[in-house]
Amino acid sequence: MMMLLNTIQIDDTFAEAFNMRGTRVIITAQNLKWAYHAANAMTGFATSVIGCGVEAGIERELTTEETPDGRPGVSILMFAMGSKVLMQQLETRMGQCILTCPTAAAFSGIDGEDKISLGKHLRYFGDGFQTSKLIDGKRYWRIPVMDGEFITEETTGMVRAIGGGNFLILATSQPAALAAAEVAIEAMKKVPNVIMPFPGGVVRSGSKVGSKYKTMFASTNDAFCPTLKGATNTELSPEIESVMEIVIDGLTFEDIALSMKVGIEAICNLGAASGVKRISAGNYGGKLGPHLFKLHDILNGSNS
């Protein structure tokens, strides 16, 4: 069935997503500038589990009323394919990115039945001078460092989450596709419980499952590569010259669906002048994951 939103075609397809494990960490500092320094370092090189171990991003800024210690801060979300990797990556990034950042502190941002270490093992950096404080049922560690004291909560929660929600923006030029993607990302940043982990929230190198090379389990999504229109079983019509993908990880199916809806509608509001012709999604024929985000259902508000 054909669906047009403000002259932009919405493909009758779905995005395929998979199960992940996720956590949220609240990072505070003397001011937002240093909170962002810490958060950017912690979520750096965390675009895809394929090569980074985790997918992570800044969820939003927090006011001083929202943070445990009353300082400015940001919340970050971090996702991995399994709990072991998530724990390992979180500890490593805490040690190298938050402990090292002047004035930064880290706190749990989510409750969950499963608890993973935030500062539980990092405390040994204190070499015996570390002290703990149990305040209102939560254990904090105070580690003496050269700028004063580093404060971290002992654990944070780990929850079941979903990764790999996505949609594709098909446009008549590369600048047009990117401009539309930027508009979508700005709108999607306002949705809680989700992150778009790629650079600027946008990925140009969407992948398909598998490869002609035995050692590769993902390779370029040739059906959506505009320069291969005559050389492969393309999904692109002649006027499409560039495709951008937005990938979304979130705490629940509903969070991702809402984020996709907000992003697609923001693009469609730009209309035909934007150069965007179609919105599609990464459909891998059921090979990638159990969660199907059907574009038509999401935009009709009937997704489940």
Partner 1 sequence: MNALTFTLKNALKFSVNCSGLTPNSLESKSMTDIANTKVTYGNHSVQVTDLFDITGSDVTHIVFKNASNKMDYIGAHMSSGNITIEGNAGAYLGFTMKSGEIHCTGSAESYAACNMVGGLLKIDANVGDFLGAGSEGLRKGMRGGTVLIKGNAGDRVGDQMRRGLILIEGNVGDYCGSRMIAGTIGVLGNVGSYTAFNMHRGTLLLKNVPNLHATVQDCGTHTLPYLSLLFKSFKKYNTPFSQLSSQRVQRFVGDAAYKGNGEVLILNA
Q: In which region does residue 265 sit, left (phi positive, over 0), alpha (psi from -120 to 50) or beta (all else)?
A: alpha
- Under rule CB under 8 A, residue 105 binds partner 1: yes
Alpha helices in the chain (DSSP H): 32-42, 49-52, 83-93, 174-188, 253-268, 295-300
Q: 60 or 139: whose CB is closer to partner 1?
A: 139
Q: 26 or 202: whose CB is closer to partner 1?
A: 26
> Which residue from 2, 4, 65, 128 is in contact with partner 1, where contact means CB under 8 A?
128
> Which residue from 69, 111, 186, 254 is in contact with partner 1, where contact means CB under 8 A?
69
- Under rule CB under 8 A, residue 123 binds partner 1: no
> Which residue from 65, 113, 127, 136 is in contact with partner 1, where contact means CB under 8 A?
136
CB of 49 to partner 1, least distance (A): 34
> Which residue from 10, 42, 86, 151 is in contact with partner 1, where contact means CB under 8 A?
151
**Is 89 strand, coil or helix?**
helix
Which tokens belong to 91?
């500890």
Spatial neighbors of 49 by CB under 8 A, at least 6 apart, are: 20, 55, 79, 80, 81, 85, 163
- Under rule CB under 8 A, residue 216 binds partner 1: no
- Under rule CB under 8 A, residue 135 binds partner 1: yes
Q: 12 or 69: whose CB is closer to partner 1?
A: 69
Q: Is 133 exposed, middle or buried (0-12, 13-18, 19+ CB in 10 A)?
A: exposed
Spatial neighbors of 98 by CB under 8 A, at least 6 apart, are: 27, 38, 41, 42, 104, 105, 106, 150, 152
CB of 34 to partner 1, least distance (A): 13
- Under rule CB under 8 A, residue 213 binds partner 1: no
Q: 129 or 213: whose CB is closer to partner 1?
A: 129
Distance CA 100, CA 38 (A): 8
Distance CA 246, CA 264 (A): 10
- Under rule CB under 8 A, residue 132 binds partner 1: yes
Taking CB under 8 A as the binding criterion, the range among 1-9, 63-71, 162-170, 238-246 that sits at the site for partner 1 is 63-71
- Under rule CB under 8 A, residue 34 binds partner 1: no
- Under rule CB under 8 A, residue 129 binds partner 1: yes
Taking CB under 8 A as the binding criterion, the range among 47-55, 79-87, 89-97, 125-133 that sits at the site for partner 1 is 125-133
- Under rule CB under 8 A, residue 147 binds partner 1: no
Query: Residue count at the site for partner 1 (CB under 8 A)?
Result: 18
**Residue 252, number of CB atoms within 10 A of its CB:** 15
Applying CB under 8 A, which residues contact partner 1? 68-71, 105, 128-129, 131-136, 140, 142, 148-149, 151
